[in-house]
Structure formats: structure tokens, C-alpha cells
Amino acid sequence: MRTGDAVRLIKERLSIVDVVRRYVELKRNGTRWTAPCPFHLETKPSFSVNEELGVFYCFGCQASGDVFTFYSRINGLDFKETLEQLALEAGVALEGSFAANGLRHVDKSNKHHSMRQQMLRMHQLAAAHFAAELKEKTGAECRAYIRQRGLNDEVLERFGLGWAGREWDSLAKKLRRAGFSEQTAVDANLLSKSPKGVVYDRFRGRLIFPIKNLAGQVIAFGGRIVRDEDEAKYINSSDTPVYKKGEHIFGLPQARKNIASIGKALLTEGYMDVVTLHQFGYENAIGVLGTALTPEQVKRVSNFTSKVTLLFDGDRAGRKAALRSCEMLLARGLDCSVVVFPEGEDIDSFLRKEGVGAFEDLLRNAVDGLKYCITLLKSLAPREAVEWARNFLRSMEIPELLSPYVSKLAGHLQLSENVLRENLADWHRQNRPNHRTRLTNTREERPGRQNMRDRQILMFAVRYPGRLDDLRAMGADMLLQSPIAKKTWEHLAEWGDDAHYHLDETEKKFWALCRGPHAPPRGNGDNELELLRNQLDEYYECAQKSSVFAALAKNTSIGDFDSDLDYLRALQKTLEKKHE
């Protein structure tokens, strides 16, 4: 089944209203459903869903699209993830190779897809097993630890915490009885295998933190010791076909609604920090899964908010992690601030000893992210500070922020702006087009700011992707100038009507302008094509006339009278054609 066929079948089986109402409270308004927009902070019902057309639109932030766009954006997923999850929900089998359509499919025989589904079911069973174990007699020591940490039943239930007992093969037995392969369980990181081939539980004697994806599926676990032992404090699931540590964020499924509602996220390091913050009422808290913040995690957070407050420990490691995290958040254009804890304090100890009032004071006095970076830079040697500043400026994904950041860094570090700007423009010009995470919002790349000819061609192409051959016959594709116009054309040529799912946010806005619920009906393609043909003909005539004038001016300077007459005759023919 081709991607386009799967998409159409999923749309037939899933109502956009049923999907959207999982996340927002929709109210009937005539033929439409309305609600406050889940994508920007507001209280008025500017968000509208048209069930008949299968589209949504926000009059406030102009977010628009179909059920795939909504599900992808609200969950922070890419098209592949969205397609897989909605297909599973709709009962659509994604069989066969999608390579011809550009969709990465790991195994043509669907073994990969089957294994992935098995692993998801195994993780679901394991989560239920750990939760049940916590309530058993053998979970007494873990329950004592939980009481010591002051966690209540509500937060335990919200995060699905559990207990991995000290028996060597408790989960292994459970998985065997359920008919799962031991090797698949090993590959899923639920079990381990000794050099002699003995299979045993990976997590033993630990408080278990289930890690979920944005669809609410358990995909991994973290485990913490509950008493002083000569073992690692935490062990975590490694990467598997269902889990990539650097792409997920602990607590985001539980926190996303609150983050969208208040427009800010509290980002911390560990599982327990997140759980503690939620218990104290900070339900917008999320964690980076005990590792350094990654670009993929930053991108995922930015799908829900543009404001992030970092809550890292005040020790050397915490300060270093906060510096790197600030750098990444600021480079993507997010509003970032840092809470500085007193020496020796962390989130849990501070909240329990000092209380919510003192913690609120810390939040109010959070240091601006760039200012925090500059403060730490002042402790470095000047050469190191300059090198950091240059690397940071090179990582900027929004070119419009370059100039103000250069000025701020130069002023606070007492450097010449020229020192920081040195080779910066050349570096961006040479490297930015190939940067994987670049944002296409530079002046020459935004669809709304392209030159008019690019815009006219692309508007027809987006509205009628099935008529690209007509445009090619007119030479329209050869006239495209801006990088984003050329890239959008390539997407249309490859994907046709399904191109929308493979565009970035800026391109999708242009798509919505051309084909959204407020765009003109697409029933007059022949007339629109003829109008575009006339506009391009005018351009060709003007271009030809300009080239003749330029050649005539150049030739006059060398005194070649015969060539002058040839150029004048060419100009006359051009003018006669225009007159006709």
C-alpha cells in the first residue's frame, strides 16, 4: 500500500473531531466545532474544526491542517511516527516497501514492524508487572522508600511507578508465560543475557519509572536503587527499535497539556525531580532522562512552548549542563532562564525543607539564559570565551537573532563586535543550507517573502500538484530562484498531494494559504494556469527586452554598427510581439 493510499484510508476511518477532542474541549457551533487553540495561549474559541472537510484552523495563530497535521503537532511527532500510530489506531496495515515514496522502511518483510509491536506489548506487560509488584509483600522496602521521599498515591498513579523485585527472573517468567520470545525481550532491554547464555531480569531491586512516548505507550524504563548498595544509583533502558533516549523527554505525556496551557516548561535532569515537582503542583515539569539535552529533545519541547526554565543542580556538573542546555535552547530561538539553587541543594531537598514559597522566589529570580552563559564565560580565559561565543553564534537557527546576540555578547564580554563577526557571515553562508536543523525563515527563504514570480509559480503548484508537467512545459521550474521555492517544488514532484506531510512549519503555512479552508476553491485550474502563463510570458518578454538593451549598450561602447542594427531588429521583434 502506497503512503497516499494509507493516508486516505486512515482519514476515512478516523474522525478529526474524535481525535481533536482528546486534547481540547470542543463545542458544536453550527457546522463547525470550536475551542481555545491548543497551540497558543488563549481563552477565546478561535480554534475551529470542520468535520465535513476534515480540517482545522486557528484564527489566532493560523495553525491549520488535517488530522495528520494536528496529531503530529500536538504530540511532537514526525510524519513517519504519526502515520504508524494513526494506522495502528485505524487498523490500517502499512505493508510493503515504502521506499519508492521516500518513507524509510527498515524491513521489507515487515519483521521490523512486527518486532516493534511485540516490544510495545512487552513493555506494557512489564509496566503492569512492576506496578503490581509494588503492592505485593515483596514491595514493602520500596513502599518504605516512597514514603520516605514523601510521594503520594496520586503521583504514583500518574507516572505508573513500580517495583522490580530482587528475584532474578520474575519478569522473565511473566514474559515467557505470555508467549514472548526471550531473545526479543533481550533486544527490548527488558532482560539481559550472561556470557553463558543465562537470561535474567535487567531491572532488579529498583524503583521503576516507566518512560512513555507522546501516544502514551510505555517504551522504556528507568530504575533507582532504594537503599545504599554497591551499585549504580540509576540504570536505564538502552536504545531499542521503540526507544531512542535522545529523542524522548520524561514526563512530557503527563505535562504537555499544562505546558500548553501556561506557556512554559520546567526542565530538569532526573526522574525523581520531575515526580517531586508534579506532586508539589508544578505539572509543567519534564526531564531529560538523565543525559545531556539533545537537539531532538529541544525540538520536541519547542513544539509545546517557547519558554523554558532550567532547574539543574548547583554543582559543577549541573552548571556545565545548564550552560550547554542554554546554548541549545537559545540557538533555536526559545526564551530560556536558569534557576540557581543554593550550594548543596537540589529540587527535592529545597522544596521539602524550604517549601513552595521559597521555591517560587527562586523561579521569580531565575537568571536569563544568555546572562547565565555570560556569567560563566567570564570565568574562562578570554580565548575560550571568544571561541564559545563564535561556536554559539554559528549554531543559531534563526538568523534574525544573530545581530542582537553579537551585540550582547560583545558588550558583556568586553569584546569588539568585529571580533565575533569575523568570518561569521561566510560561515553561515557556506554551512547553513546543509544544516539539518535549520529553520527556513530567512528573508529570501520565507514563502511570504519570495519574489512574486516564485510565489505565483508555487501557488499554482501547491494548488494543483498533479499539473507540474504543465508548469515544466512552460519552463516555470527553471525560473524558481529562492532555495525554499526549489525545495518545495522538489517535495511536490516527489510526493504530490501528500507533500504537505513532509514540509516544515513555514512551508505548511504557505500550503494552508493556498489550500486551507479559506483558500479559493480549486475548480478552475485551466483558467489559473492560463493566467500564470500570461504572467510568465510577460516576464520572458521583459527579460528579453532587458537583455537586448544591455547587449546594445555594451556593443555601442566598442563601435560595432552592424551588430547594433542586429540588436535593434531583435528589440523591434520583441516589441512587436508584445503589441500583438
pLDDT at position 76 is 66
What values do phi and psi take at 192, rounded to 5? -125, 160
Please, are residues 511 and 462 in contact by the beta-carbon 8 Å criterion? yes
Let me know whether 323 and 419 are in one domain: no
Residue 209 maps to a domain: yes
Nearest to 225 by CA among 148, 177, 149, 164: 164
Q: Which residue has the cell 537537539?
A: 295
- Identity of the residue numbered 75: N
The secondary structure of residue 401, as a DSSP letter, is: G
**What whole-number distance in Å separates Cα of residue 374 and Cα of residue 378?**
6
Please, are residues 231 and 199 in contact by the beta-carbon 8 Å criterion? no
**What whole-number distance in Å separates Cα of residue 501 and Cα of residue 80?**
9
Residue 145 maps to a domain: yes
Beta strands at 335-338 and 47-50: parallel, antiparallel or unpaired: unpaired
**What whole-number distance in Å separates Cα of residue 126 and Cα of residue 15?**
32
Which H or E run includes 64?
A: strand 64-65
Let me know whether 497 and 512 are in one domain: yes
Please, are residues 436 and 299 in contact by the beta-carbon 8 Å criterion? no
Let me know whether 359 and 394 are in one domain: no
Beta strands at 162-164 and 335-338: parallel, antiparallel or unpaired: unpaired
Let me know whether 215 and 315 are in one domain: no
Let me know whether 265 and 297 are in one domain: yes
Let me know whether 208 and 308 are in one domain: no
Residue 441 maps to a domain: no
Residue 440 maps to a domain: no
Let me know whether 227 and 258 are in one domain: no
Per-residue pLDDT in tens (0 to 9) along the chain, 580 residues: 677 788 888 988 999 998 988 777 788 877 788 888 877 656 677 788 888 878 888 877 777 888 988 888 877 677 887 888 888 888 888 764 343 343 443 343 345 557 878 898 999 999 999 999 999 999 999 999 999 999 999 999 999 999 999 999 999 999 999 999 999 999 999 999 999 889 999 999 999 999 998 778 899 999 999 988 778 899 999 999 889 888 889 999 899 888 877 889 999 988 999 999 999 999 999 999 867 899 888 888 887 788 999 998 877 788 888 889 999 999 888 899 999 888 778 898 899 899 999 999 999 999 999 999 888 888 877 788 888 888 888 887 776 677 788 888 888 777 777 777 765 655 555 555 443 333 333 333 344 334 678 888 888 888 888 888 888 877 787 778 788 888 888 888 888 877 877 777 778 878 888 887 667 777 778 888 888 888 777 765 565 454 444 444 544 444 444 444 544 454 454 445 444 4
Q: Which residue has the cell 498513579?
A: 157
Per the structure, the complete domain to which residue 341 belongs is given by: 252-375
Q: What is the DSSP string of 17-81?
A: HHHHTTTS--EEETTEEEE--TTS--SS--EEEETTTTEEEETTT--EE-HHHHHHHHHT--HHH
**What whole-number distance in Å separates Cα of residue 266 and Cα of residue 255?**
10
**What whole-number distance in Å separates Cα of residue 446 and Cα of residue 175?**
52
Q: Within 13 Å and on the Cβ side, how many CA atoms surround 566? A: 7
Handedness of CA 316, 318, 321, 327 (dihedral sign): negative
**What whole-number distance in Å separates Cα of residue 322 and Cα of residue 277?**
18
Residue 106 maps to a domain: no
pLDDT at position 97 is 39
- 487-62-325 Cα angle (round to 5): 70
**What whole-number distance in Å separates Cα of residue 339 and Cα of residue 224?**
25
Beta strands at 335-338 and 307-311: parallel, antiparallel or unpaired: parallel
What values do phi and psi take at 125, rounded to 5? -65, -40
Residue 125 is part of a domain; what is its CATH number? 3.90.980.10
pLDDT at position 7 is 86
Residue 442 maps to a domain: no
Q: Within 13 Å and on the Cβ side, how many CA atoms surround 475? A: 7
Picking from 327, 343, 375, the residue at the C-terminal end of a domain is 375
**In 10 A of CB 420, how many CB atoms?**
21
Residue 71 maps to a domain: yes
Beta strands at 191-193 and 55-58: parallel, antiparallel or unpaired: unpaired
Picking from 504, 522, 540, the residue at the C-terminal end of a domain is 522
Q: Domain tally for the chain?
A: 6
pLDDT at position 224 is 95
Residue 439 maps to a domain: no
Residue 29 is part of a domain; what is its CATH number? 3.90.580.10
β-sheet with 47-50: strand ranges across = 27-29, 32-35, 47-50, 55-58, 64-65
Q: What is the dihedral of CA 448, 449, 451, 457, to 10 degrees?
A: -20
pLDDT at position 489 is 86
Which H or E run includes 35?
A: strand 32-35
Let me know whether 97 and 15 are in one domain: yes
Let me know whether 179 and 234 are in one domain: yes
Let me know whether 504 and 541 are in one domain: no
Let me know whether 300 and 187 are in one domain: no
Let me know whether 335 and 265 are in one domain: yes
pLDDT at position 166 is 94
pLDDT at position 364 is 93
**What whole-number distance in Å separates Cα of residue 27 and Cα of residue 48?**
10
Nearest to 536 by CA among 465, 448, 477: 477
pLDDT at position 433 is 41
Q: CB under 8 Å to 309, separation ≥6 — which residues?
A: 264, 265, 266, 267, 336, 337, 338, 339, 363, 366
